[in-house]
Amino acid sequence: MPVSTFTAAWHIAPTAISTFFSHSKRRLRNNHDPEEARDDIFFEEAFEIVKSFIQFGTLNTVESLQKFTNTHVPSPYWAAVVPVSIPLSTCNAAADTLIDWFGPDELSAVVGGEKWWQIRGLEGIDAEWITQKHYLNDVKLDRKISDDDEATIVKMECLERVMLYVHGGGYFWGSINTHRYQLIRYSRKFEGRVFAVNYRKAPQYPWPCPLQDVIAAYLYLIRPPPGAVHKPVPPSKIVLAGDSAGGGLCISALSVFRDMNIPLPAGAVLISPWVDLTHSFPSVMKNTHSDIIPVHGFMAKPSTLWPIDLVGEDRVRATQNAPPPEPGHADQLRPTKARMDGESEDGPNAAGSPNTKKADADDDDIDLWEPRPPKVQMSDSDDVPLELHSQIQLYATNEQLTHPLVSPVLQGSLGNLPPLYIIAGDGEVLRDEIVYLAHRAAHPQKYPTRKGALRDAHRQQENAKLFTEPTKVHLQVYDDMCHVLTVFTFTESAKHAYRQIGSFVKHVTNPSHPEDCPFPQPQVSAVDEKKPTAEQPRMIRQRVDIKGKLREMEPVDEMEVLRISPGQIGIIKEKPTLRWFEGQSEWDKKYRRNAAKAQKKRESNSEKARKIIAHAREQGLVHASDGVGSQAEVETPDSASLHETGGVIEKERRWGPLDLEDESPPPSAIAKRTDTASSFYLLIPKTLLMGEQIEALALLKKHIYHTAPATHRTIPKLKLSDAVKAAFDPNDDPSKPPKQSAAEAQVHTSMGLHGMRIWDVLLGYFTRKSTEKASNGKKAIKRAVSK
């Protein structure tokens, strides 16, 4: 069953009920144990509900989860929310920035080209201005504006501080709608406005598509295009913020801004940022029991979209001997010393040779002999290494996982960035990479990037030498908390985090603030009341207990994660790989019939795409590559038998799916795919239609008939027979563009109560009850003291 409000409630309800009873029993058994976060019934219920929902998502297709979490949900009455669209002109400016950053060689060998990731179905990027409505009540406009939304945006100009928020969701699900309740709260805490961006999602729009959209959102703020209502926002008044995948995108975007001399924002808030997609840090294996992330990662029910290889044969297998790879491909696990010196005449050693012991290698050797994806580093160096034959992350291919804009923990330098406030939960699987990232930023020289990541990356080599100034970092690790603790707004830990974020934004956007320290200092326990001065280290390292009280973090030399050799970071390793393989094998077996059906649909869809293109040619489609000089020279069918679609050729839309013959996008990218679901055009049962999405064929048809790129010379005109046929197809209206993928476009529904709205209401209930509980506890203490 697809993800919906009903199916989610059906799946989660047993978990909520069982948690209620198990919590009471556990509290009775452990009555004298030290207090922990899950002793609070409301937190434990919310934790299990979120964990159950994410697990439920893995039992459904990627498209189904995307559709549910990108469904438009109306904002509450007390919030001022205005939707806007970041135009193609700004998207093009962001693309030019990335093209310059990559350079031609990297664009070709690593990214797969410069065109495919610029293709989008919408006419821009969905975004929203968000703030508290009462901030605008007394604002008077100096001119009359008839449009209410425009008037609201103009009124928001009175709020100088702007948070550019990038939501999380594993790079493939989530939206502004899943996070709006948090964003409204942020705007209240720092007394400003939030600009939230609904970037494109993987796997339909993999890396670097989301990164381009985040860069475009920032450029939209500081350099408004013609037609934008807002005035330019000074970078000194902007704070970048994001959670999980959004946090990773933020740090990657900051690196691009720094490298390309784009004015940096005042600071950044990174909430549980996902910065190592190779899963090379220990907490990924240790903290699964205390986190909301599924044990095996983000699995999915097979569909025409994902996984790429539907029939799972030899997804992971022992490495076999092979000659040296071609440029841009994966290397052997252990090249010979002679090959490393460029003197080999006999070829490489066998990849599984046990002659070299890991214990015999120093750090430099580890960097030289490290495996590159899709090779897997084994726990026992004598074991024959494994190699991956399936893509393990939805966001990027295995070969791209070690790129510094995919896994920013591998940046050549994290110095010279604006001040960072970084949050981690002590119980989350990403804890170690977050802690390591924070220390790398604050101490660029002490925590260098592994040499293997720099070897072929000339820009990163330059960055390591150029950007040596420590970044100001405020790191806080929260006891007993899981991934993205700000989701649980009613907990004392989350309340503390929201206050800290609000204070941080105020500090970095207001240099004249009376506080001496570079970062906000909340209420602390009596022993920690001393505030740091400007002469103290540029990094603040703290732990936060479940009551929101601070204590100093343990010394660096006592932290296991900070003793890891740089050569072991950003490496795909055996244990995480086998755990993923175990889960994927279970899904392959469980959904083998679904995979077989999806494979047949792919073949059918590919044939349908071929017919769409051929039919469009018959209707007058002419592409720039055809060599026709102008539209007037094109021969078209008799105009009396043609039907206009209302389409236009958009000069700002540079490329379309027909422009990618010389490019090699990742296999999941729908820009060049023709085999993903196209239920919009097929008369299929309604129950199946609910679970399918419009993907590559919808994108193709929109670029041919409705909003063609500049490379098209004509818009095809439908024959009369086509128009008549469409009139009898409820899923095909030739006068309207087809709905685009939920990986990009919000889904609108007539349902009065959506699951995300229910979650918002539930959080409100937990907040009220937690407040009452705390208030009753204080009253009880006062009564006891008075006696």
Active site residues: 244
Residue 149 corresponds to which tokens in the numbers above? 């939304």
Q: Supply the DSSP string of 145-172, one letter for each residue.
A: -S-HHHHHHHHHTT---EEEEE--STTT
| Residue 552, beta-bridge partner list | 542
H/E segment holding residue 510: none
Q: Supply the DSSP string of 614-627, one letter for each residue.
A: HHHHHTT--BGGGT
Q: Is 782 helix (H, G, I), strand (E, B) or coil?
A: helix
CA angle 216, 219, 225 (to 5 degrees): 100
CB hemisphere CA count around 125 (13 angstroms) = 33
Angle, to 10 degrees, between the axis of helix 5-29 and the axis of helix 41-58?
Answer: 140
Distance CA 616, CA 622 (A): 9
Residue type present at position 751:
M
Distance CA 71, CA 52 (A): 20
Whose tokens are 């240099």? That residue is 511
Beta-carbon contacts of 764 under 8 Å, excluding residues fewer than 6 positions away, are none
Distances (CA, A) of 33 to 28, 83, 287: 10, 49, 21
Residue 681 corresponds to which tokens in the numbers above? 């055009």
Residue 533 corresponds to which tokens in the numbers above? 């001065």
User: Residue 717: is it exposed, middle or buried by C-beta count within 10 angstroms (0-12/13-18/19+)?
Assistant: buried
| CA of residue 265 relative to chain centroid, distance | 20
Distance CA 44, CA 663 (A): 49
Residue type present at position 556:
V
Distance CA 173, CA 306 (A): 14
With contact defined as beta carbons under 8 Å apart, do 158 and 136 qualify? yes
Distance CA 225, CA 439 (A): 38
Q: Is 707 helix (H, G, I), strand (E, B) or coil?
A: strand
